[in-house]
Amino acid sequence: MSQNDAQLAAPLTPEHLPPAIIEPLSDAQIAPVTVDEGFAHGIYRADGSFCEISRTRISDSRFTNSSHLPDPDSLKRLEGTYLFCGLGRHHFGHFLMETASRLWALEGREGHYDGLIILTPPKIDFAAVLRRRMKVFFDMMGCTMPIHIVSRPMEVEQLHVPAQGFGHLQWAVGTEAFRRFVRTRVAHACRPMGPEKIYVSRSKLKHVFQHVDQEERIEKLMISAGYTVFHPERHNMYQQCQVYRAAHTIVGGDGSAFHLAPFAMMPKTRVGLIQRRARLAPVNAIAHQIEAFADVDLTRLNPLLRQPDGKLPSVGRREPQPIAFDALVEQLEQAGLI
């Protein structure tokens, strides 16, 4: 078995991001996404064997389940050569980590493909999500080819299946091929436009537990220090990248906005990442992503309120984790961010 064959056959694990490999399949069979919690689906070779790298990492340690080989009589034939892009996820962060994470395979091959193939989970109108919010990202990546949203069994004449180049937790650092691809494409597409100092706020998000505790108070502090409060969800991804490229200093609470920002941050940008969640692993992942993608000066800030025994107070699922505001001010001052 060659090294490439071994890489293609190796089981995916949360600990190790797969290498930047692409498996070209002839007469590939697609079993569409089912309603189970694991988003079961399958990309199968012509001989009926399962393509392991077609799985998608969908959370900390979970991968999509494999479905059954589709009934040959149910297959709709699609002629041409296509690039598999995995699941169509409507959540901002999951879209970046699970849908956009295979686009690196376009580099140097744009004219080779007749289109992209995205599998849509049941009950999600990904076509509408694409029109409203996500198409601009594909445009930034220089992808002008048709996007085929597949929800029924299909046979594809030629299907290229790339491994994910980016994903949850340990995978957040991305492969070199993915990092180079997205940063080059964003730099080419987005002219810097925006203030020099921004505070990336979560205060307008729908649910209170998504906010940073005492965020309106933090916003006033940052405005007094010369920052502009920036609500990324009120801007499309192109506009967000323009702002991130223009900023010399970026401060904000950990979250999905900081999955996109490293695609655009300019070298030597000062970044203050405020830990807002008790769970450390996703915060570490965001910090590692920032450092891997961009040559920036990152300061991690942890103002979470602790009890006398050193433990974090338990809070309800609908509340933000409490912070010690004075501790945040002190940390910002010590870092020279205010």
Give the Å distances, CA to CA, from 195 to 28, 46, 182, 246, 278: 48, 53, 23, 7, 31
Per-residue pLDDT of the chain (338 residues), as tens digits, is 566 766 776 889 999 999 999 999 999 999 999 877 678 898 999 999 999 999 999 988 899 988 888 888 899 999 999 999 999 988 899 999 999 999 999 998 888 999 999 999 878 889 999 999 999 999 999 998 999 999 999 999 999 999 999 999 999 999 999 999 999 999 999 999 999 999 999 999 888 888 999 999 999 999 999 999 999 999 999 999 999 999 999 999 999 999 999 999 999 999 999 999 999 999 999 999 999 999 999 999 999 999 888 888 888 778 899 999 999 999 999 999 99
Pairwise CA distance, residues 6 & 124, whole Å: 35
Residue type, 244: Y
The pLDDT of residue 237 is 97
What's the pLDDT score for residue 5?
65
23 DSSP assignment = E
Pick from 267, 251, 210, 249: which is nearest to 233 by CA?
Answer: 210
What is the rounded distance in angstroms from the CA atom of residue 186 to the CA atom of residue 184?
Answer: 6
Strands 270-274 and 228-230: unpaired
Ramachandran assignment for 255, one of left (phi > 0), alpha (psi -120 to 50 degrees), beta (any other) = left
Integer Cα distance of 257 and 233 in angstroms: 9
Which pLDDT does position 3 carry in this prediction?
A: 66
What does pTM read for this prediction? 0.94
Token readout for 77 is 């034939």
**Contact at 8 Å (CB) between 314 and 285?**
no
- The partner residues of 47 in beta bridges, in order of sequence, read none
What's the pLDDT at 2? 64
Domains of the chain: 9-187 (no CATH), 190-305+313-334 (3.40.50.360)
Distance of CA 123 to the CA centre of its chain: 21
Return the DSSP state at 83.
Answer: E
How far apart CA 120 and CA 151 sit, in angstroms, is 6
User: In the β-sheet with 22-31, what is the strand arrangement from edge to edge?
Assistant: 42-44, 22-31, 154-162, 76-87, 115-119, 147-150
**Is the Cβ–Cβ distance between 103 and 85 less than 8 Å?**
yes
The CA angle 297-294-160, to the nearest 5 degrees, is 160
d(C-alpha 274, C-alpha 301), whole Å: 5
* Number of residues in the chain: 338
